[in-house]
Structure 1
């Protein structure tokens, strides 16, 4: 019985450790994709200004 509880506790600890690693990994990917989206928006704004002449002073 004690061996079973130890195995269960060890399994829970390994699952918690695995989930913490996955959360860190997810945070890194989210930051990466957010940066890509931000750069894409800046690029689109820049291209629209260049192509359509927005913000042109007369």
Structure 2
């Protein structure tokens, strides 16, 4: 497995970007979260894979 070493005096990606965000372990369970739904753009119609795609 190849190993990469930073240049002398440079910082690691973790030091550059920062630490991981705190995790909220007191969040409600999924069953208590309430109603969920999908939002956004509608999915594209299914494509018939038996027919080739012809683009102009």
- TM-score between the two structures when normalised by the length of structure 2: 0.24
Larger Rg: 1 or 2? 1
- TM-score between the two structures when normalised by the length of structure 1: 0.23
Of Structure 1 and Structure 2, which has the larger fraction of its residues in helix? 1
